[in-house]
Structures are given as C-alpha cells and as structure tokens.
Chains A and B, each alone.
Chain A
Amino acid sequence: MSVVARATSLLIALAVVVAGIVFVAMHFIAGQPTVINYVPYASDGQVNVVMQTDPQNTVTNKPDWPSYFVQNPQTKQWVHTTYFEVPANTKVNMTIYGFDGCTPLRNPYFGKISGTIGDVEYINGKATSQLNSWSDCSVQHTFTMPGLGLSVPIASPTTLNENNNLCGTSPCTTAKGAANYGPYQLVQFSFMTPAHGGIFRWQCIIPCGLGYLDGNGGPMQTPGYMSGQMEVQA
C-alpha cells in the first residue's frame, strides 16, 4: 500500500472515530427532552401548566418506568417530557393528573406542601396542606423544585382495587371507557415564578425506580421521566 493510501485510510478511520464520539456526545449526553413552551400562553400574569404522572410509559423503550408527561398547550397532546418554559414573575397554575399508584415517601417531611401559594394543594378540589403517605399510602410522586423551595406530594389512588387497576397505556386519559383510562387524583396548586430568568430543576423525591437498588435508578436518574426543569424566561 502506498504512503498516500495508508494516510488516507488513517484519516478516514480517524474521522469515523471522531464522528462516533461526536454522535455519542450529542445524542446521549447533550441531548435533552423536548421543552414545552408555555410563554406565549400566559395572560394576566398567569399561565396554566398541565401534566400527568403515569405508572408506566408505553411510548418509550422503558415501558416499566413511571413517568411525567406534559401537555402541549397548543395541540393539547401529551408529550413525553419533563421540560417546560414559563415567563418570569408569573403565577403558574399547575394541574397534575396523578395516574400512578402509591409509593410512600422515604422522608415523610416532604408530605408537607411548601412553596405554593398558601402552602396548599388542591386534591380533587379540596385544599390540603399535608399528606401522610405512611398511614394510608396516599402519595405516588412529588413535584419538588428545591431552587424555589417548592415541594408538592402528588396524591395517588388509595384503594387496593384502584391500585390493581392502574392505567396500562400511556399517555393515560380521564375518559372512562377508554383503553388508557385509569383511576387518578386531580392535583392542583399555584406558585410564582421568580422575577429573574433562569433554569430551575425539579424532581420526584420518592425513589420510584422500581427494580433498581433502593429505587434510585432508572427513571429517577433520567431527565424526561421523574425529573425535569422549568426554564423561566425573563
């Protein structure tokens, strides 16, 4: 083989390796879930954000991982993501349909609602300031945003019958009779975004990675499932 041919082969091999590294970096490391932009839909200093929690997600290759979904405000379609964008200095009215079964809090301190307006959440319309997940297993996940001091336990179906008949296809629906219907709790709360822009990470603080050591793996460690971020646009 001539020197030119050998050099060309080496350069091609090098290019392939570099391209592979770039692909891995961009696709797996730098890649992030879709960001749902609620900014254009804010009015009168408020914006409505709608999410749901599912006991599974049949839209990914990890169907046994519980997951949040965010509703696209324009199409009303559910998107498998946990990233959303809201304006600064705005009241966020959050609605979460909780379709997952109960998993008690590891630390019952987070049964207390904090950081919301009035330090309450509304479960099926009823104001609640605290949930005891250890006495009646009434909590499935949390929406916890440490940067804003926000922590809200998401109520779960509480009866054995309901927990054995959870929604089996995601995204779940509240329409009875539909194949992807399941028992749920309607959780609502409001909080203020800060006056300045920034990125605020949020997470479920219940180790809900079923099958992983201490429940801390899988969906707990993967953005787009049980953790996400709120991007505040100034």
Chain B
Amino acid sequence: MADEAPAISAAAQEPRHGMRLLITWIVLSAICDPLFYILAGPHMPPGDMSSSAADQQFDLNVLAMFAIPVVIGVLFYIGYALTFWRAKEGDEEDGPPIHGNTKIQLTWISVTSAIVLFLAVFGTVELWVPAGAGAGEGPQPIWKPDSSNILQVQVIGQQWVWTYRYPQFGGFETTQLELPVNQPVEFDVTSLDVIHSFWAYQLGVKADANPGVNNVAYTTPKALGEVTVRCDELCGLWHGAMYNYGKVVTAAQFQTWVQQTRTQLASVTALLPPFSLTYDPTNIATLGSVLTKLGLTGAGGGYYNGNDLEQP
C-alpha cells in the first residue's frame, strides 16, 4: 500500500493531454481555415472565369479547409508528443497500453467515416449542380445546363492543332475559339486521329477527344478574357506544342465576330463535310473516288496495309 501512494500522486499531477491537444487544435484550425479562405481562396486554380471554374475553385477551397485541420492535427500531435512524451534518458519502460480503448476507436471510426461520407455526397452534388463541372460526360451527358439557349461548339483535335466548328452558324470551322459571356456552352469534343484532351484551363473545362466519339462538356463563361487551350493527353511528337488561345467576349462582339468569320470562311466551309458529332475520315465517298481515279493507295485516311513490314 505504501508503494502505491507516489503513483497516484504522479497520475494526479499529469496534465490532461487530450484536452490540451483538442483545444489547441480547435484554436489553430479556427485561425488557419479562415485565413486560408480569405488570403489563398480567391487565387486557387482555375479561377472563376466560368461557372465550372468557379465551382472547381469552391471545391478546392472546401477540400483545403477540410485538409488544413487534419494537417494541423497531425503536425501538432507529432510536435506535442516529441515535446512532452519524449523518453527520458535511461527510461526503457513501456508506454501505457491503449489497446482496446473503445473510446478512441469509436471516435476515430466515426470522424473518418463522417468526413469520407460528406466528401462523397459533396462531390456528387458538385458534379450534378454545375452540369458536370466542366468535365467530359461522354456522348450522352446526364447533367445538362438548365437553359434553352446553349451555344454549341464542336472541338476537333488533330495532330497537333485544335479547330472549332459552330454548327448553329452554318457550321464554319476555325482555329479561333471565341465565346460569348454569360451564355451556356456545349462543347462537343472529338478527334480525327489519336486521343487528345481538350483543356480550356480558365474555363475549368477538360474533356478527352477520342476519334469516333462525341464527348460533351458544359460551362458558362462568366467573365471576359483570354482562355488557354491545351492538349492534356500525350498525343505524339508535338503534343507539347498543341495549344492555342480563346477569348470570352460580349454577346455583341461575339455576334460581330461570328458574322465576319462566317463570311470570311464561307468558301472553305463549303468544302467541309456536313456537320456531324463525329467524323470518320476513312469513309468519305469523294475521298475514296479521288484515290481510285488516280490509282493511289494514299495514307491520308487510314488505308491500312497489313502487309507493310513497317506496320506497327
């Protein structure tokens, strides 16, 4: 009995580490989260130039504000443990057993489950509400903007150039991407050769361009300015050079540009195949007849010669 008295006394003197950690963690998180949101939040990529970009920025801010307390908790716990629970020199005694601590296990499982479930629901809502969040939804999108005034723009990838067709304006094709502000846009993304990926960074739009597939993505530009378009899928020798720039302009400027461009390109528009959601360059009647007439087996459309030794 005489030996137990000092042990009880030592336990009574031990500070309440759990409470210390919890309070400090709450205070630090309450300071850092708002600081992050105010200082870094507006600068999070990809900005807020379009509805989908703004939603992505919001998503990243939410994720960051969830992550910050976790990071703070881990780092602060490590620091606290190193400071207060460091083993004294010569102390080889085992630490207190915590195996079977139901309270800790329940807390851990409950908190992590709540976070994961919240993020799953949040992620689904954030795909749904902004009409696919600017991502390619495949040929039959399930999330569409709630508008009857959607501008259709076809994005065509070809090694190593982007071109854009405007089917609602006679189907002209151009290397310039121009969009009106505040009007929902439907991008119909496809390719004439290999797989590319249409990435309009400031618009928060990214959709793979697959040959023979129409990949649909939606967004609504919300601010005037320049848009950088890059290929985001390794697509051959000059994948890195496959980029150009687009513009978001006022509705009036867009109408002027459309009329001018349509007129300027009228002659080449007449040469284009009829607008289609996808194109098969190996199956164009006039192309085949030209080659037949000239007795050629040109490479220009996938005329696939299985006997060629260099065939990959």
Q: How far is the CA of A146 from the CA of B160 in the complex (A)?
A: 8
A residues less than 8 Å from B114 (CB atoms): none
Q: Does A107 interact with chain B (Cβ within 8 Å)?
A: yes
Q: How far is the CA of A61 from the CA of B193 in the complex (A)?
A: 27
Which listed segment binds A: B26-34, B80-88, B219-227, B297-305?
B297-305
- Whether the pair B241, A146 counts as a contact (CB closer than 8 A) is yes
- Whether the pair A106, B301 counts as a contact (CB closer than 8 A) is yes
Which listed segment binds B: A16-24, A43-51, A211-219?
A211-219
Q: Does B295 interact with chain A (Cβ within 8 Å)?
A: yes
Q: Does B250 interact with chain A (Cβ within 8 Å)?
A: no
Which listed segment binds A: B4-12, B57-65, B132-140, B279-287?
B279-287
- Whether the pair B311, A213 counts as a contact (CB closer than 8 A) is yes
Q: Does A101 interact with chain B (Cβ within 8 Å)?
A: yes
Q: How far is the CA of A206 from the CA of B244 in the complex (A)?
A: 20
Given A106-B158, A107-B163, A201-B238, is A218 in contact with B310 using a C-beta cutoff of 8 Å?
yes
Q: Does A87 interact with chain B (Cβ within 8 Å)?
A: no
Q: Does B68 interact with chain A (Cβ within 8 Å)?
A: no
Chain B 264-310 interface residues, beta-carbon cutoff 8 Å to A? 265, 267-268, 271-273, 281-282, 284, 286-287, 290-291, 293-305, 308, 310
Q: Does A35 interact with chain B (Cβ within 8 Å)?
A: no
Q: Which of B236, B284, B300 contacts A215 (CB 8 A)?
A: B300
Q: Which of B265, B290, B304 contacts A104 (CB 8 A)?
A: B290
- Whether the pair B159, A134 counts as a contact (CB closer than 8 A) is no
B residues less than 8 Å from A227 (CB atoms): 237-238
Q: How far is the CB of B47 from chain A (nearest CB, A)?
A: 25
Tell which of A114, A132, A207, A227 has the most Cβ of chain B within 10 Å: A207
- Whether the pair B295, A134 counts as a contact (CB closer than 8 A) is no
Q: How far is the CA of A136 from the CA of B304 in the complex (A)?
A: 22
Chain A 36-93 interface residues, beta-carbon cutoff 8 Å to B? 64
Q: Does A4 interact with chain B (Cβ within 8 Å)?
A: no
- Whether the pair B311, A212 counts as a contact (CB closer than 8 A) is yes
A residues less than 8 Å from B273 (CB atoms): 108
Chain B 13-33 interface residues, beta-carbon cutoff 8 Å to A? none
Q: Does A94 interact with chain B (Cβ within 8 Å)?
A: no
Give the size of the chain A interface in residues (CB under 8 angstroms). 48
A residues less than 8 Å from B301 (CB atoms): 104, 106, 207, 214-215
Q: Does A180 interact with chain B (Cβ within 8 Å)?
A: no
A210-231 near B? 1/0 per residue, CB < 8 Å: 1111111110111100010000
Q: Does A185 interact with chain B (Cβ within 8 Å)?
A: no
- Whether the pair B299, A135 counts as a contact (CB closer than 8 A) is no
A residues less than 8 Å from B173 (CB atoms): 107, 109
Q: How far is the CB of A65 from chain B (nearest CB, A)?
A: 9
Q: Does B175 interact with chain A (Cβ within 8 Å)?
A: yes
Contacts beyond the supplied A108-B268, A130-B271, A134-B286: 18 A-B pairs with Cβ under 8 Å:
A103-B299, A106-B193, A107-B156, A107-B163, A112-B265, A146-B160, A160-B295, A163-B296, A207-B159, A207-B193, A207-B300, A210-B299, A210-B305, A211-B310, A212-B310, A214-B194, A216-B194, A217-B312
5 nearest CB pairs, A to B: A215-B299, A211-B308, A210-B299, A112-B268, A103-B300
| Interface residues in chain A, defined as those with a beta carbon under 8 Å from any beta carbon in chain B | 64, 101-109, 111-112, 114, 129-130, 132, 134-137, 144, 146-147, 149, 160, 163-164, 201, 203, 205-218, 220-223, 227
| Interface residues in chain B, defined as those with a beta carbon under 8 Å from any beta carbon in chain A | 156, 158-161, 163, 173, 175, 192-194, 236-238, 241-242, 244, 265, 267-268, 271-273, 281-282, 284, 286-287, 290-291, 293-305, 308, 310-312
